[in-house]
Each structure stands twice: as structure tokens, then as C-alpha cells.
Amino acid sequence: MQGIPARTGQLVLAAIVLLNSGCATIVSSVASKFADNLSAAVINQNDPEIVRDGAPAFILLLDSFVQGSPDDPMLLAAAANLYASYGAVFATEPERAARLTERARNYSVKALCISFAPSCGWDDMAYEQYEASLAGLSSKHADVVYAYSVSALAFIRTHSDDWNALARLPHVDALLIRYLEIGDGEAEGTVYTYLGILATLRPPALGGEPEKGRKYFERAIDLSGGNDLSAKVEFARGYARPLYERELHDQLLQEVLAADPESPGYTLTNVLAQRDARELLSSADDYF
């Protein structure tokens, strides 16, 4: 079964979200201006290696904050976001990626359990009971719900050979849809790309829904005005490739490569998206 892409541009955006509303808020008591400036520096960085090399220091900083306030859900959510993003995007060794994303999941589970008591029993609930419990989530839970979803996606990717992990895909899908209802709309495009990935992750015979995934990807592209190039890469990878739509596949990736990656709020993800686009195009003749 196909796993979540090893380098998903949208998961880099989770690293950015760690410095957006969630992290900027939780760090505000320590250094609000620093958090805001760091956020801008990360999202507009055109050298991913700088982010890769610098992120571990921030991971340790967040860990130290969690040590001091172990029951602060926003601190836990921020730490979960960063561990998930770094583990999914920059950790090249499978064992390390699995270890980092497991920590992300643990942080996010605790953050949501503290904020929303019904979630404490989600792992043991039948799906119908789990789905019904989502109605209790509201806008005040949005940041921790997002962190939980991102961490779950990263965890599943790095544990894609574990059927128990893969069995949680419908749960993540339902939670992201609920997030669209309670969130402030800032991460809406990102969420639609996540939903597109989830819908196309499995072949139709195993529950995949490629046409629904296509609509999600197209919605994500529209919401960013085409500025988020990673949405097009995931569209090509998750939909066009499995359905052997070579023309659509190449068109999307060529559009990515022809675009200027320097776009406020998307530069880092766009640089990574262009790297992925080159790799996908270079292997297209063998694939198709």
C-alpha cells in the first residue's frame, strides 16, 4: 500500500503552523516579537537546509518549555507540530522519522486530552462513537485539533507498514473535516490538500476516493490562488500518477517548475515542491 509521501510539501507547512497562531500565541508570554519574526523568517526561507539545520535548536527550546509547563496544551501542540514536521520532512532515516513522529503524536494526544476530555478515549472507541464525539469540538479547540491531525498524518506515514496505524486514516479524515468547521480559515487550503492526500492514499478497492481527492486538490489550489505549489505536486503524485493521467501529471509539475517560488507565506514549501516536481518528472517515463 502506498504511504504518505516521504517529503510532502504540505507537511512542511505544519512546521510553519508551529510558528503561526498556535506557537506564536504560546510563546507570546516569553517572546512574542521573536516568535512573529521567526515565523516570517521560516515561511519565507528559500534554503530548506537552513530550516533543517536550525529546527533542532527550536525543538529543544520547546521541549524545555514543556518541561516547565507539562500540562499546557498550546505548548504541547506547538511541540507536536514541530516534531511531526521535522520527522516527516527532514528526518531521512526511517527509524529516526518514526521516533520523532511518535513523540509528536504523544504530545498532540496529551494536548487534546487536556483540552477536550472525550478525546482521551478515542483510541479505544468504535468509529461511530468517535465520529459522534467530534460534535463537541468548537473553535477553542481548533489549534490543538490541527496539531493532533498533523501529528497523526506524520505518524501514519512513518508507520505505513503498521495496519493499526493505517486503520486511523478515516479518523484523521473526519477530524480534518471537523477542523474546517471550527477553524478560522487560515489553514483551510492546507487542510484541503491533506484531505486530498487522504482520499488518494489508498486504491479504490481499499477505500480510496480519487475523484473526491481531485476536488480537494483543486479546492486547495484555488484557495491559495495557485501560490501554494505543493498542492499541485500532491495533485500530480496522489491523483494523476495512480490514474495514469500523464498529460495532467506533466502539466501540473511543469506549472510548478515554471512558477516563481518566492511567494510570501509559501516560499519554503514552494522550494521543496519544486524539488519534488523535478524528481517526479525525471521518473515519469519509467512510471508511465
Separation between Cα atoms, residue 149 and residue 146, nearest integer Å: 5
Q: Provide the CATH number for the domain around residue 45.
A: 1.25.40.920
Contact 195, 173 (CB under 8 A): yes
Same domain (yes/no): 62, 171: yes
Q: Report the pLDDT value the prediction gives residue 4, as an integer from 0 to 100.
A: 41
Report, as ranges of residue numbers, the positions in the chain whose pLDDT lies below 70: 1-40
Q: Report the pLDDT value the prediction gives residue 22, as an integer from 0 to 100.
A: 44
Separation between Cα atoms, residue 174 and residue 187, nearest integer Å: 16
Complete DSSP assignment for 212-275: HHHHHHHHHHHHTTT--HHHHHHHIIIIITTTT-HHHHHHHHHHHHHS----TTTHHHHHHHHH
Same domain (yes/no): 106, 138: yes
Domain total in the chain? 2
What's the maximum distance between 2 C-alpha atoms anywhere in the chain? 54
Q: Report the pLDDT value the prediction gives residue 205, as an integer from 0 to 100.
A: 84
The residue among 155, 181, 207 that closes a domain is 181
Q: Report the pLDDT value the prediction gives residue 78, as an integer from 0 to 100.
A: 85
Amino acid at 161: D
Domain range for 32: 1-181
Same domain (yes/no): 59, 161: yes
The residue among 152, 181, 210 that closes a domain is 181
Contact 20, 150 (CB under 8 A): no
Tell me the H-state helices in the chain.
Answer: 9-17, 21-26, 28-43, 48-68, 73-89, 94-115, 127-133, 142-158, 163-166, 169-182, 188-200, 210-223, 229-235, 246-258, 267-282, 284-287
The residue among 181, 201, 230 that closes a domain is 181
Separation between Cα atoms, residue 221 and residue 235, nearest integer Å: 9
Q: Report the pLDDT value the prediction gives residue 224, as an integer from 0 to 100.
A: 93
Give the CB-side neighbour count of residue 204, counting CA atoms within 13 A. Answer: 8
pTM confidence score = 0.85
Same domain (yes/no): 172, 195: no
pLDDT digits (tens, 9 = 90+) for 114-126: 999 999 999 899 9
